[in-house]
Structure 1
Amino acid sequence: MSDTRPRGESFDYAGATVELVDAATVLAAARVNPVELLRRAGWPAPVQRVDLTVASADRPAGPVHTFAAAISTAEEPLSKERIRKLVLGNDPVGLLLAKRIEAGDPIATRIVDGVGAAAAAAYKKLGLDRQAQPVAGKEPGTLADAVVGLQAQISYDETGTVVRLHAEVPRDDVTPAHLQAFVGLTLQAVLELTGPDALTGRRFVVSRETLATAPVTTQEVTLDMVGGLVEVVSELRQIAVSFRHPEAMARWGARRPQGLLMYGPPGTGKTMLSRALANEIGADFREIRTPEILDKWLGGSERNIKQIFRDARRYRVPTLMLFDEFDSIISYAGAGGDAASQAINAVAGIFKQEMNDLIEANPNVIVVATTNFPHRVDDSLIRSGRFDVKISVPKPDDASRAEIFRKMIRGLIAAHEAPGFQMFADDLDVMTLATASHGMTGADIKEVLRRVQLSKAMQDARTGGHAAPITTDELLASIRDLLGPAK
């Protein structure tokens, strides 16, 4: 069977179905970087979230795999979701504001930021943010799985709202069974908070990838969905970790990177990576387009850039600001003496100062700039201190294209296949597809799939639902069509 289909094993626990996808891959990936699982699962009250992490550590006796879980019953008082529940609601005005914020309307964003901060302050003053403490006073202990001999130490946060589990297994001995056992122990701890029947009928997918059960929009993309670009994704994960753990940053007096420049050829996924980083952080996404800044009237562009940063200094929740096609906004600073060049220089100068002020004023904001032409951006604009991280996003090589095909096809299978309907053949050869698509970007591969999907849908419409699954040969034909006769 093709590896485009997720390799998962299911088991039942307390009435819930748990699917463990590619456990061996999870353990292998954890040797390099921590792998976070279950973050987007839904939980019965009073549990709000469960963070389960698999990582690697060196111990005096040798390297180990570490399994850690944090079960929280507390909401974050100033989280994006909670503020919007408080402010927006489901009335017509709230829905209209929500739509405008999603579209990047700066006025609607300022309204909700201001009202949301006031609502959160009032919420706290009235004592409504105090959470129940269902685990307060309990003593640390041990949970054990007798089948594989895994023992997890269990402890309780001093606030009484977080239960923590921790287990270690020597790296040479660890198996997927240990991961399954730790998941089971984590669910056992959840049941102690929720009651013995609380998980009945629920389904949990334990995977380092988010396999959608509905079509994934650009707004919902995560780093796990990104195919290839292993080094780029790894660096973005490090940035996300620094944002998700402000207490560690504060303890060490560390300043996390707040400026990130991504550069590379068109279609390599720079904008998608920016959205994925925002989702990984749990941040609002604010895209600043060229027309929002550049103005034909004298002084208009300068006012616009000042207003954008003025708004950014007031954001009260983590926010990623994307200046897409940065070179078209601020190009060749210092070049030319005509009026247009002077206007560009003025915008560039204001950007420098505003960027400096923003980093000092609001640690909740990260600024991402993307460009296809890094040579068009003056070095002083992107120096360290403004843009601490600079990442090249290249065209994918053969292995990366195979990974892009695999992940895109997996996503389509998860979103569209149903009993009685098979979208892709079982014997797809992604390496053959990767070799044939030499020079293509992720955007090109997405177009290859779109064309075949459309062709199959039209065939389905003509034959009354009798179109066969998509084959390797059909995808190869689509690749040849897109590359054209010159290739």
Structure 2
Amino acid sequence: MSEASFARPRSEIFEYAGATIEMVDVTTLLAAARVNPVELLRRATWPAPVQRVDLTVSGADDPAGPVHVFTALISARAEPMSTERIRKLVLGQDPLGVLLAKRIAAGDPVATRIVDGVGTAAAAAYRKLGLDRPAGPAAGREPGVLADAAVGLQATVTYEEDGTVARLEARMPRDEVGPDHLRAFITLTLQAVIELTEPDALRGRRYVISREALPKVPVTTQTVTLDMVGGLADVVAELRQIAISFRHPEAMARWGARRPQGLLMYGPPGTGKTMLSRALANEIGADFREIRTPEILDKWLGGSERNIKQIFRDARRYRVPTLMLFDEFDSIVSYAGAGGDAASQALNAVAGIFKQEMNDLIEANPNVIVVATTNFPHRVDESLIRSGRFDVKISVPKPDEVSRAEIFRKMIRGLIAAHENPGFRMFADDLDPAALGVASTGMTGADIKEVLRRVQLAKAMQEARTGKAEPITQQELLDAVRNLR
């Protein structure tokens, strides 16, 4: 496999209603959707009153056979019962209303007092009748169908009663689906957005349709997302489910469901547990609070207990979604219940307080999710991590051959997106991620990141000394893998 085929995917660019849309690596996107839902557009910005568009491609089994399901949820802001809205309701479109509107615009105080007096009475009546709840821009719209006859795609359109959410759904047989169908569904989604805004609302905007959101700046731990994680498909899928439960509190409330608020991740060092925690926080849109061991353990009697109480006291007051990470969890509560010396008793006290505080937090603040990571799960007392405190327990293993190839692919693709430009190529055309996956047997994601760092540094030093350096080749990467062992 050449470098161009896995690091620089093909893209298609088209325009609709003045907006530029770029679809990246659609064939891979559609193939991935057969296994797990692929979410698109969620981080895009939209014209008011539209706040968010969740576009998803997934696989399903219909009676006639397997299909691809295209779904779009368009969330729009409701219009408040403001003075301006009340005036519109009072004035209406009849000749008297138009006349009064002109008098108000001209600053006539008498007309203003008359209309606002009627408006105050109308607002009181609305409140009494329960009609003062804000209505969204889609309120009163009937279900319908949007279609693209050229590719034979039809999308049903339905609306929530309050008009704040529009839902589009289209289905195509899996064997027939192709890039044209995704393009058609995107245009139908944008058409629905325009119907909730203005005809020119999308002009000048740009939207990227991609399975992986590749930033134009180097990826850091703070900016990583689940899309950027390579080689841990099962782990990522489970974390996505947790993220969905946090992003849709209305569905949780409707069913009386309690989303998981405790998550334990365990596995060998370097497998990405801390990175996954940060990616989950970014996926939820949550603040990230990392609790390090020195913040809790104190040499003075009773100090550790006070520290853990204060950490959870603060957590109960968080008013926005927050992920609290207890990294190296075993170093805080290891061997709880073992031994009778002073050190063991101190650990037992911390563990006991952690249990109670965790119980209280789950009851007091559903906005917080607690993530604990450890390399040594056998050192953690089972009562600490039982269901009800830590509902989800995920093993994060060392990557296998296929996973290592995927990690190389994603890391290299991220470097290309961040650093390459028309006058500079970072990687040569002979890269083979499968061969790199074989050569790096036993390595973790952290090891692979170090391989790339070493090669990047060598190239930078070569250019600094000689003024020129050729792109990184497959052999140079294989040599770096060998030297790291």
Per the shorter chain, which TM-score range? 0.7 to 0.9
Report the counterpart of residue 479 of structure 1 in structure 2: 481
Partner residue of 2:436 out of 423, 428, 433? 433
Maintained 8 Å contact 1:6/1:410: no
Report the counterpart of residue 106 of structure 2 in structure 1: none
Q: Distance in 2 between matches of 1:190 and 1:224?
A: 25
Deviates more, 1:136-145 or 1:439-448: 136-145
Maintained 8 Å contact 2:33/2:57: yes
CA positional deviation for 1:63: 3.2
Maintained 8 Å contact 1:4/1:428: no
Report the counterpart of residue 26 of structure 2 in structure 1: 23
Partner residue of 2:167 out of 147, 164, 167? 164
Report the counterpart of residue 399 of structure 1 in structure 2: 402
Report the counterpart of residue 445 of structure 2 in structure 1: 442
Does residue 261 (structure 1) correspond to residue 269 (structure 2)? The answer is: no
Partner residue of 1:346 out of 336, 344, 349? 349
Question: Match of 2:237, SS?
Answer: helix
- Give, as a single letter, the amino acid of the residue that structure 2 aligns with 1:65: H
1:115-154 alignment, distance < 5 Å? 133-154=136-157
Report the counterpart of residue 271 of structure 1 in structure 2: 274
Maintained 8 Å contact 1:131/1:161: no
Report the counterpart of residue 208 of structure 1 in structure 2: 211
- Give, as a single letter, the amino acid of the residue that structure 2 aligns with 1:481: N
- Give, as a single letter, the amino acid of the residue that structure 2 aligns with 1:316: R
Maintained 8 Å contact 1:405/1:430: yes
Report the counterpart of residue 415 of structure 2 in structure 1: 412
- Give, as a single letter, the amino acid of the residue that structure 2 aligns with 1:135: A
- Give, as a single letter, the amino acid of the residue that structure 2 aligns with 1:373: F
Question: TM-score when scaled to structure 1?
Answer: 0.84
User: Any unmatched runs of 5+ in structure 2?
Assistant: 81-131
Relative to structure 1, is the Cα distance of residues 426 and 18 closer, same or farther in structure 2, using a 3 angstrom cutoff?
farther
1:366-377 alignment, distance < 5 Å? 366-377=369-380
Q: Distance in 2 between matches of 1:200 and 1:471?
A: 42
Partner residue of 1:177 out of 177, 180, 184? 180
- Give, as a single letter, the amino acid of the residue that structure 2 aligns with 1:295: D
Partner residue of 2:388 out of 361, 385, 393? 385
CA positional deviation for 1:406: 0.3
Report the counterpart of residue 361 of structure 2 in structure 1: 358
| Larger gyration radius, structure 1 or structure 2 | 2
- Give, as a single letter, the amino acid of the residue that structure 2 aligns with 1:205: V
Report the counterpart of residue 115 of structure 1 in structure 2: none
Report the counterpart of residue 469 of structure 2 in structure 1: 467
Q: Distance in 1 between matches of 2:201 and 2:182?
A: 22
Q: Distance in 1 between matches of 2:142 and 2:422?
A: 48
Question: Match of 1:407, SS?
Answer: helix
CA positional deviation for 1:33: 2.4
Q: Distance in 2 between matches of 1:14 and 1:463?
A: 50
Maintained 8 Å contact 1:20/1:205: yes
Q: Distance in 1 between matches of 2:256 and 2:133?
A: 29
Report the counterpart of residue 5 of structure 1 in structure 2: 8
Task: Provide, for residues 425-466 of structure 1, a one-character-per-residue CA deviation record: whole Å limited to 9, x for no partner.
Answer: 1221111111111111111111111111112122222333x3
CA positional deviation for 1:223: 0.7
Does residue 224 (structure 1) correspond to residue 213 (structure 2)? The answer is: no
Q: Distance in 2 between matches of 1:227 and 1:17?
A: 29
Partner residue of 2:337 out of 303, 312, 334? 334
Question: Match of 1:144, SS?
Answer: strand
- Give, as a single letter, the amino acid of the residue that structure 2 aligns with 1:391: I
Report the counterpart of residue 307 of structure 2 in structure 1: 304
- Percent of paired sites with the same residue: 81
Deviates more, 1:172-181 or 1:129-138: 129-138
Please provide the CA RMSD for this pair: 2.0
Q: Distance in 1 between matches of 2:482 and 2:134?
A: 59
Q: Distance in 1 between matches of 2:409 and 2:473?
A: 14
Maintained 8 Å contact 2:135/2:162: no
Maintained 8 Å contact 1:263/1:370: yes
Task: Provide, for residues 273-328 of structure 1, a one-character-per-residue CA deviation record: whole Å limited to 9, x for no partner.
Answer: 00111111111111110011001111010011111111111222211111000011
Task: Provide, for residues 47-71 of structure 1, a one-character-per-residue CA deviation record: whole Å limited to 9, x for no partner.
Answer: 2221101123333333322111122
Report the counterpart of residue 117 of structure 2 in structure 1: none
Q: Distance in 2 between matches of 1:257 and 1:195?
A: 40
Q: Distance in 1 between matches of 2:141 and 2:391?
A: 44
Question: Match of 2:7, SS?
Answer: coil
Q: Distance in 1 between matches of 2:190 and 2:434?
A: 38
Question: TM-score when scaled to structure 2?
Answer: 0.85
Does residue 250 (structure 1) correspond to residue 217 (structure 2)? The answer is: no
Question: Match of 1:219, SS?
Answer: coil
Maintained 8 Å contact 1:405/1:445: yes
Q: Distance in 1 between matches of 2:136 and 2:355?
A: 47
- Aligned residue pairs, count: 430
Deviates more, 1:51-60 or 1:439-448: 51-60
CA positional deviation for 1:160: 2.6
CA positional deviation for 1:130: 8.7
CA positional deviation for 1:32: 2.6
Q: Distance in 1 between matches of 2:162 and 2:425?
A: 50
